[in-house]
Amino acid sequence: MDARVEEDGQGRRSARDACAEPCAIERGMRIIGGKWTGSILWHLKDGPVRFNDLARMVGGASKKMITERLRQLVDRGLVKRQVLETSPVSVTYEITDFGRTALGFLDELRRWSEELPSNGNGA
């Protein structure tokens, strides 16, 4: 990931060591960069959570969006879905060991964003 642009003797510019498509950062962003994905993982860090409770924790996201993101996370092996044999039937979601590997940099991102100045340039 040490891409750079070089210029030859005739002024032509070309990239050296350019990222292959997709580069590692882009691959990672495709996995956890979707809206609400990081928040969902973060809220699952303390143990299994029922769907409706998770929807309450992730304020601002519709249940349809949470369902979509959870399906993606389950398909990618970051979250485990378990159907509980209760009456009525309920579902819990739990972060997997693989999903836990994302918590370190999500925490760093959380801390970084908390330190951003609130001058309107942030989200």
Say if residue 123's pLDDT is above 60: no
Average pLDDT over residues 41-69: 94
Given a cut of 60, whether residue 49 has pLDDT beyond it is yes
Residue pair 50/91 in contact (Cβ under 8 Å)? The answer is yes
More confident position, 4 or 84: 84
Does 14 have pLDDT greater than 80?
A: no
Could you read off the pLDDT of 71-121 as tens digits, one per residue? 999 999 999 999 999 889 899 999 999 999 999 999 999 999 999 887 656
Banded model confidence at residue 31, pLDDT cuts 50, 70, 90: confident
Tell me if residue 43 falls in helix, strand or coil. Answer: helix
Q: In whole angstroms, what is the distance from residue 98 CA to residue 55 CA?
A: 22
- CB neighbour burial string for 52-70, b if at least 16 within 10 angstroms, e if fewer: eebbeebeebeeebbebbb
Collect all residues with Cβ–Cβ distance below 8 Å to 47 and sequence separation of at least 6.
94
